[in-house]
Amino acid sequence: MESIDAVLGRMRKNDTAPALFWRDREYSYSQFMALVDAWTVSLVEKGIGKGVVCGVLGEFSPQICALFFALMKVRAILVPFSHAAEPEMPAFIALAGVQKLFRFNADDEWTLESFSDAVPNDLVTGFLQRNEPGLIVFTSGSTGKPKGILHDCELVMRKFVSEREGWRTCLFLMIDHFGGFNTFLSTFAYGGVAVCLPQRTAEAVCRAIEQSKATLLPTTPTFLNLLIASGTYRSFDLSSIKLISYGTELMPEATLSKVQSIFPNAQFKQTYGLSELGVLRSKSENDGSVWVRVGGTGFESKIIDGILWVRSEANMVGYLNAPSPFDAEGWMCTGDEVEVKGEYIRFLGRKSEIINVGGQKVFPIEVETVLLQDPNVREATVFGVKHSLMGQVAHARISLHEPEEQGALTERLRKLCLSQLVKYKVPMRFVVVEEDSQHGTRFKKLRQGFDGEKANP
């Protein structure tokens, strides 16, 4: 555990520097490390050590953050769960072979549950020979059955050993999302301050930024669009934010342009990563650009037939319930179609989300960027549906600022699209929906069509 020990040692040296902000209170690194030490003793007393699969249900908090480091210290296997994942937890617990489950409430109080009938997962059993702590996260399952992903925490931590600038970071990304765990590690590893959020509403995030003087907001384009539409930002001082990193989905250029005016003091950085590979280092061409350079130490990338492939030193150990996606040389096809410009790439969309209209490709992000230019459109999601002649056509789900007659709306949006797009890219149908039906609990767009939806000529 060379990398983990190095980071923990550096954290101890931070002493009186602030480490965590929660419920209007700031904890120093010495206070936080005292929590880590107390948890380490408690785990040993409870017989929780090397290879024990431990679920943790809750949201980022002082006790949970400290527990995560303590579990790594005793070489356990961490399985974080957010409250949004509770309906799927029984299946996930069985798949991972969870033996212990810590349940935390909103006040950071906890209970411990044991599963005497836990059946070990074969991949986890083999992993124990490494004598390292592990991490299990689950894919969203948006395109099929969720997959369990096992990581070696020592390999994940390795990229944080070299010292970098620390930030006062909002822990916005979900606790059971690899991006959320990556943000958690980087915040403490670089001597930053972890800002724990009570909720992920626009108002709660803005209030936390103002109170904690947060400098970094890692988030999603969908949340930024919700923030714009809510207008809540006008009631808070958000001037402390110096950097906004966004990822997990494509950023419409219209959204990026609008959010820059809300955070005039901030730089904007596009991030890229996959749960199977980790989060790559990235550099946007400029603040207003969706072109990005990805890679960095420990990562390699290549483009084959317009699709991005990545190889990482911190590749996952494997899936708990699916074959390995890596080829014989360790490369993984990400499924992301990209356009190349020198050393920069622009993500066009997942290959599975591209709409094929009579043999012509339609990238949803291109159409959504146009639709978001309409002053009454809060959110737009473009997706493909079956068509008996064309194979597929584009449809769009639209959320509005103000109610509007459907006929007039359709005519105006169609004209807007035709002014900037070729005809086959223009959605055949515009369906008005409530904004909260456009995204999931991870603030990522839901691009699936309506069940059984089919377009006819």
Specify the CATH number for the domain of residue 440.
Answer: 3.30.300.30
> What span, in angstroms and rounded, lies between the C-alpha atoms of 25 and 27?
7
At 256, is the pLDDT very low, low, confident or very high (cuts 50, 70, 90)? confident
What is the residue-wise DSSP string for 363-381?
Answer: -HHHHHHHHTTSTTEEEEE
311 and 430 belong to one structural domain = no
324 & 257 share domain:
no
206 and 271 belong to one structural domain:
yes
- Domain finish residue from 329, 351, 373: 351
pLDDT of residue 233: 93
- Residue 298: which CATH number? 2.30.38.10
pLDDT per residue over 135-158, tens digit each? 999 987 555 688 999 999 999 999
Encoded tokens for 307:
């699709």
- 21 and 56 housed in the same domain: yes
CATH number of the domain to which 242 belongs: 3.40.50.12780
Same domain, 225 and 342: no
Residue 344 and residue 425 in one domain:
no
- Domain boundary residue among 351, 375, 394? 351
Give me the mean pLDDT over the 339-347 stretch.
88
List the one residue out of 149, 94, 382 whose CA is nearest residue 274: 149
Residue 141, pLDDT score: 58
| Co-location of 294 and 364 in the same domain | no
What is residue 456's predicted lDDT score, i.e. its pLDDT? 41
**In a shared domain, residues 256 and 317:** no
- 369 contacts 416 by C-beta, under 8 angstroms: no
**Which residues are CB-contacts of 316 (< 8 A; sequence separation ≥ 6)?**
149, 150, 151, 275, 276, 277
Mean pLDDT of 229-251: 89
Q: What is the mean pLDDT of residues 339-356?
A: 85
234 with 267, same domain: the answer is: yes
Which band of pLDDT confidence, cut at 50, 70 and 90, is reported for residue 455? very low
Tally of domains within the chain: 3
Please check whether residues 69 and 123 belong to one and the same domain. yes
- pLDDT band at residue 451 using 50, 70 and 90 as cut-offs: very low
**82 and 171 Cβ atoms separated by less than 8 Å:** no
pLDDT tens-place string over residues 350-385: 777 888 888 788 888 889 989 999 999 999 999 988
Are residues 206 and 135 both part of a single domain?
Answer: yes
With H, G, I as helix, E, B as strand and everything else as coil, classify residue 186: helix
Q: Residues 338-343: what's their mean pLDDT?
A: 89
Average pLDDT over residues 311-316: 87
Range of the domain at 56: 2-289
Residue 339: is its pLDDT beyond 70?
yes
Domain boundary among 289, 304, 321: 289
Same domain, 338 and 443: no
Q: At what angle do helices 62-73 and 29-45 cross, to 10 degrees?
A: 60
Is the pLDDT score of 454 beyond 50? Answer: no
Lowest mean pLDDT of 228-232, 282-286, 399-403, name the range.
282-286
